[in-house]
Amino acid sequence: MFSALKQTARRLTRELSALSLACRDPRVPWYAKALVLFVIAYAVSPIDLIPDPIPVLGYLDDLLIVPLGIALALRMIPAGVIAECRVKALDQPPRATALSWTIAGAIVLFWIGLSLIVVRFGWRYFRGK
């Protein structure tokens, strides 16, 4: 059972690498690039639709949304482009350090900005009463 899960995780990692390469290709439509960015942001974001501490259901959204988003993005990208990107992804070693920190920083800044906006409007609303 664990070997099957490891194989699935490796396959998803390769697909994400291929999607990352496809996002840089000019032949990929903008909406496919936007979906890939959303899926990656959702996967690494600490904020989920269903909070992770809720037993079983907390991880269910991650187990459904991320693979379905990957599958949808793969359908939006032209077959020739994704085939080329899969070959490139197999040839290159994983390089997640700088990109991971950049994405994580962008997500943290987004949530901080959103929190500040909510606090600002909440302060205005409650101060006015």
Domain ranges of the chain: 2-94, 96-129
Q: What are 110-122's pLDDT values in tens digits?
A: 888 888 898 888 8
What pLDDT sits at residue 77?
A: 92
Neighbours of 71 (CB within 10 A): 11
The span from the CA of 66 to the CA of 121, in Å, is 32
Q: Which pLDDT value is given to residue 59?
A: 74
Q: What is the largest CA-CA distance in the chain?
A: 62
* Tokens matching residue 74: 């793969």
Residues in contact with 35: Cβ distance below 8 Å, sequence separation at least 6, in sequence order: 69, 72, 73, 76
Residue-level pLDDT at 114: 83
Q: Which residues of the chain have pLDDT under 70?
A: 1, 44, 46-52, 93-100, 128-129
DSSP state letters, 61-85: HHHHHHHHHHHHHHHHS-HHHHHHH
Which tokens hold the place of 55? 């037993």
The CA angle 112-56-110, to the nearest 5 degrees, is 10
- What pLDDT score does 94 carry? 61
Give the predicted TM-score (pTM) of the model: 0.61
pLDDT of residue 100: 65
